[in-house]
Amino acid sequence: MRNYQELMQLQTYEERFNYLSLRGVVANETFGFDRYLNQKFYRSQEWKRVRDYVIIRDHGCDMGLPGHEIHDQIIVHHMNPISLEEIENNPEILLDPDYLICVSLETHNAIHYGVETKSDPNILVERKPGDTKLWR
């Protein structure tokens, strides 16, 4: 199981992204008609309390990485995909901050559905004359 302590040992954006990446594989069970349980969980006071704690702990930074502040929507991401069984029988693990991390919407989508690797958004791309011309 992925956890916060292991993630914090990784120093770069790429290492952390690769550690969290699901490589396009979403949880086997997508809740279907039981999706209301998922939504009930995310509206609970317990979740809101833990969510606030994680945002403060991670200083609102993408994957908890200093210098990668999130300036729009902060998502508190479960590092391990959650299941219906966990929501029904073991919600404590879903509320454990050791299995949660702050991510941006872009990073969250890339972790779940995305690419093999995601480049660090803070690395500047060297511009060259003419590289923004639409037609050549």
pLDDT in tens, 75-126: 999 999 888 888 888 778 899 999 999 999 999 999 988 765 455 666 555 6
Q: Is the pTM of this model over 0.85?
A: no
For residues 38 and 122, give the distance between their C-alpha atoms in angstroms, rounded to a whole number: 34
Residue positions counted in the chain: 136
Residue ranges of domains in the chain: 4-113
Do 77 and 108 form a contact (C-beta atoms < 8 A)? yes
Range picked from 23-32, 45-54, 127-136 for highest mean pLDDT: 45-54
Scanning the structure block, which residue is given the tokens 């729009």?
72
